[in-house]
Structure 1
Amino acid sequence: MPRRLALRGDLLDFTATPEWGAVDTPALRWRPDHWLLVEDGRVAGVQPGHQPPPEGWQQHDHRGRLILPGFIDTHVHSPQLDVIGSYGTELLDWLNTYTFPAESRFADRAEAEAGAARFVDALLAQGTTTAVVFPTVHKVSAEALFAEAHRRGMRLVTGKVLMDRHAPDNLRDDVVQAERDCIDLIERWHGRGRLSYAVTVRFAPTSTPEQLAMAGALCAAYPGLYMQTHVAENRDEVRWVHELFPEARSYLDVYARAGLMNERSVLAHGIWLDDGDRAALRASGAQIAHSPSSNLFLGSGLFDWRATEAAGGAVSLATDVGGGTSLSMLRTMLDAYKVQAMQGQRLTAWKALHAATLGAAQALGLGDEIGAFEPGRAADLCVWDWAADPVAERRMAVAQGLHEKVFAWITLADDRNLAAAYVQGLPQYERRGGAMAAVP
């Protein structure tokens, strides 16, 4: 593959956090018809389109196309592709009826490896180049994900799921064996290439206090680990947590008491939080992985993004497949807009895109590596068509101003718009004959 690559197109990224509701913001960096220069997998610079790259750079002319940093999905379940779009349940019934039976299959190595490859391919086919992922309770499922992402050179955060109660027999672990498995996975995979380990607590009801304490001890013993879990997604779930942990002030406090709240903690959902919880988020540096498609599909509730941010909490965007109905971050942004609109708020295109690129990177402590086109950042990026059908073409033709155009693109675009996805400057997906195809 070429050491030096030059991509020409309309470059869009961010240098700061957009203000809430602002369609004109200095946080946006818009450079139409520019060359993005990539050397040895990293951004080397940007220059105007009329200024050709020096001799020796492999050139790809994407004039008239949008070039964005690769999307970052901060909460998604790799084994749940098997249950995406399942009918008729809320959260707790969803787990028992659909999720747990699907996850039990990943005890088999061949199933885990095939599922990991299918999942990573599916992410890239939607323009997602980084993800924070739940596999299953089985050690082999985390191993398969790590191996597949490493083969692609992807930035991936994952770890064996911890569950030692309130789950089927074939999906429960125990504190001692789970700790051994986590330590082995940490020592073999954490920090290897672009991989990071996440201590992965399913959610408070499926871990005993002893297992939660073990998870907190791992976070303390291995600086740099992530922690991922679910919090306050569904009202019945919140009531159950209060019954199981009566000593805790709130659902979020269960994790704080176990030593699981820090700047590398990723908590999915956070719909039913109060002001005390939001203050704890700010103090710890933890983030909420807002999963609007899943929240709507399962009827869980409407997340108050603005209140969380106003209290100093970090918010990123996540698909939460399979509760979510698509791995597309574009569909997720559109559903986030709908969730906020139901509460009388308007989510701008800039706020949504930032939360799926630079904002997510910064919340994960990776702002110096991914999420923007700064020199030295990893060249994880995607090339998009503005329109993929006559309706979208017409909408783009009459759009007034950049925000209107980009918001319409978020609303109307899908995987047909994706022309190519690059990880560290290497093409991982390219559109061929109208379909997406993996690059060998």
Structure 2
Amino acid sequence: MVENLNNAVHAVRGHIQYMQDATTLVEIQDGLLAWDSTGHIVACDEHKKINSLLPKSVNVDNHSGKLVVPGFVDCHVHLPQLDCRNKTGHTLLDWLKNYIFPAEAAFSDVIFARSIAKRFFLEILQNGTTTAMIYSTIHEAATNVAFEEADNCGIRAIIGKVMMDQNCPDALKENTKESLSGSERLISKWHGHKDRLFYAMTPRFALTCSRDLIVGAGQMAQDANVYFQTHLSETPDEVAFAKEMHGFSDYVDFYGDCHCLGKKSMYAHCIYPTDSEWQGLSQSQSAIAHCPSSNIFLRSGRMPYEKIAEYHVRCGLGSDVGAGPKFSMWDVMRCGQEQHTKNVFSNKNAFYHATLGGAEALGLSDQIGSFHVGKKADVVVFDVPTSFNAIEQIPMAAATYVSGKMCYLGKE
């Protein structure tokens, strides 16, 4: 694939792999990927075919023998839970009470919040993730800091201030109207910033949110044309308590009644939806974030992956740090194969969901997720020979680029 090589300003050489679609892997053993000054891809082909055609001024980063893949897309991750990984021995609700809520309350301190955000974004880029959908905390100032640090490091991010107005510690319980107002202010400041940072309305889940808050979040997401994210059907206890609390029989219909379904809505986990709920996700064109490493760690259950194809639901992968123990999407892919077996969740399936499939789930596949000419050069280099070996090895990135700009360079 070649457009106008005269516009090229930078390129990487290496063993290129990307998914052309959900089933087709493109592999170029000695490839060259070039982009222009705006960070858009102008060529992806064999080195021998196009190297001589590049302008003399082009900077070529030579990663021969290393794997070059599209930047990973993490569809579900919690910034404030960076230091909450590997807190074992609890199911979801006890884990929230004993570890997560106290950790998130500390984000009332903006200096502390910034120190965590800096480390969070460094580690996520070190692992080759270039786009992430992120939960912050209930604190508007801490969420603003998260956006500032995302802006500084160059990552592509969708971030939301968590919303909770019931069934949580007093230190994290919001006034319903103020929760919505805080989100509105953050939307005005950050949504669409540099065409790289975006906002997501983020009611944590049905147990900690009143119906008024969920309705308000859904309506604001639609009115402002921003994203919406929450957790859905992660454990049987959560499902039972939510039904009792809100008086519904169909979890997805409940969110539909609250204006929370649609192309920009992302539901994490989705382990226990009924067939009618899967149908509701499909018909509304909502997406899900599959979080196998987290599901294993908290013993929450197995997401029925076969329903994705049966109901044609868009699906990305989520590290779900801190229930997920690692930022590495290689680890998430490996855990997916552990839960589903390679016959169901093949190497190509895993790689697709971590790249192009994640981009499709976020509605960004026209911009990222593969190396098609015209897309943004979100690129990661790994010092391994092939992507499928990497699923076992879980490497760190050698270099990470977002829109053609190097955001992380590993140590040789």
The code of the aligned residue for 2:112 comes to E
Runs of 4+ aligned residues of structure 1 deviating over 3 Å after TM superposition are none
Instruction: Please name the residue that 1:334 is paired with.
Output: 334
> Contact 2:264–2:363 (CA<8 Å) still a contact in 1?
yes
Secondary structure of the corresponding residue to residue 142 of structure 1: helix
Spell out the pairing of 1:221-236 with structure 2 (5 A cutoff): 221-223=223-225, 225-236=226-237
> Contact 1:267–1:289 (CA<8 Å) still a contact in 2?
yes
> Contact 1:137–1:162 (CA<8 Å) still a contact in 2?
yes
Instruction: Please name the residue that 1:375 is paired with.
Output: 373
Give the RMSD, CA atoms, in angstroms: 1.5
> Contact 1:152–1:423 (CA<8 Å) still a contact in 2?
no
Spell out the pairing of 1:109-148 with structure 2 (5 A cutoff): 109-148=110-149
Spell out the pairing of 1:343-354 with structure 2 (5 A cutoff): 345-354=343-352
2:219 pairs with 1:217: yes
> Contact 1:198–1:226 (CA<8 Å) still a contact in 2?
yes
> Contact 2:12–2:63 (CA<8 Å) still a contact in 1?
yes
How far, CA to CA, are the matches of 2:123 and 2:8 in structure 1? Answer: 27
The code of the aligned residue for 1:222 comes to A
Instruction: Please name the residue that 1:423 is paired with.
Output: 402
Instruction: Please name the residue that 1:8 is paired with.
Output: 13
User: Shift of residue 229 of structure 1?
Assistant: 0.2
> Contact 1:116–1:144 (CA<8 Å) still a contact in 2?
yes
The code of the aligned residue for 1:265 comes to S
Deviations along 1:78-111, whole A, 9 cap, x unmatched?
Answer: 0101210002100000000000000011111111
Spell out the pairing of 1:1-400 with structure 2 (5 A cutoff): 4-18=9-23, 27-40=24-37, 41-51=39-49, 52=51, 53-193=54-194, 194-223=196-225, 225-246=226-247, 248-341=248-341, 345-386=343-384
Secondary structure of the corresponding residue to residue 242 of structure 2: helix
Secondary structure of the corresponding residue to residue 213 of structure 2: helix
How far, CA to CA, are the matches of 1:150 and 1:249 in structure 2? Answer: 42
> Contact 2:384–2:395 (CA<8 Å) still a contact in 1?
no
Secondary structure of the corresponding residue to residue 302 of structure 1: coil
> Contact 2:28–2:45 (CA<8 Å) still a contact in 1?
no
User: Shift of residue 345 of structure 1?
Assistant: 4.6
> Contact 1:305–1:315 (CA<8 Å) still a contact in 2?
no
How far, CA to CA, are the matches of 1:55 and 1:303 in structure 2? Answer: 51
How far, CA to CA, are the matches of 2:27 and 2:153 in structure 1? Answer: 29
The worse-fitting range, judged by mean Cα deviation, of 40-49 and 169-178 is 40-49
How far, CA to CA, are the matches of 1:272 and 1:285 in structure 2? Answer: 19
How far, CA to CA, are the matches of 1:239 and 1:62 in structure 2? Answer: 52
The worse-fitting range, judged by mean Cα deviation, of 95-104 and 5-14 is 5-14
User: Shift of residue 4 of structure 1?
Assistant: 1.0
Secondary structure of the corresponding residue to residue 17 of structure 2: strand
The code of the aligned residue for 1:219 comes to A
Instruction: Please name the residue that 1:409 is paired with.
Output: 390
> Contact 1:135–1:141 (CA<8 Å) still a contact in 2?
yes
The code of the aligned residue for 1:211 comes to L
The code of the aligned residue for 1:414 comes to P
> Contact 1:72–1:361 (CA<8 Å) still a contact in 2?
yes
How far, CA to CA, are the matches of 1:290 and 1:336 in structure 2? Answer: 9
Secondary structure of the corresponding residue to residue 330 of structure 2: helix
How far, CA to CA, are the matches of 1:46 and 1:217 in structure 2? Answer: 42
Secondary structure of the corresponding residue to residue 76 of structure 2: strand
Identity %: 35
How far, CA to CA, are the matches of 2:380 and 2:210 in structure 1? Answer: 42
How far, CA to CA, are the matches of 1:116 and 1:3 in structure 2? Answer: 34
User: Shift of residue 338 of structure 1?
Assistant: 0.8
How far, CA to CA, are the matches of 2:411 and 2:27 in structure 1? Answer: 28
The code of the aligned residue for 1:12 comes to Q
The code of the aligned residue for 1:425 comes to G
Q: Please, what TM-score do these two structures have when normalized by structure 2?
A: 0.94
> Contact 1:204–1:254 (CA<8 Å) still a contact in 2?
no
Deviations along 1:51-74, whole A, 9 cap, x unmatched?
Answer: 423311111211111100000000
Aligned residues: 401
The code of the aligned residue for 2:43 comes to G
Secondary structure of the corresponding residue to residue 320 of structure 2: coil
The code of the aligned residue for 1:240 comes to F
> Contact 2:314–2:360 (CA<8 Å) still a contact in 1?
no
Deviations along 1:390-438, whole A, 9 cap, x unmatched?
Answer: xxxxxxxxxxxxxxx64332112322xx2111112121111225xxxxx
User: Structure 1 residues 161 and 359, CA, compared in 2 at 3 Å: closer, same or farther?
Assistant: same
How far, CA to CA, are the matches of 1:3 and 1:376 in structure 2? Answer: 12
| Structure 2 unaligned blocks of 5 or more | 1-6
User: Shift of residue 113 of structure 1?
Assistant: 1.2
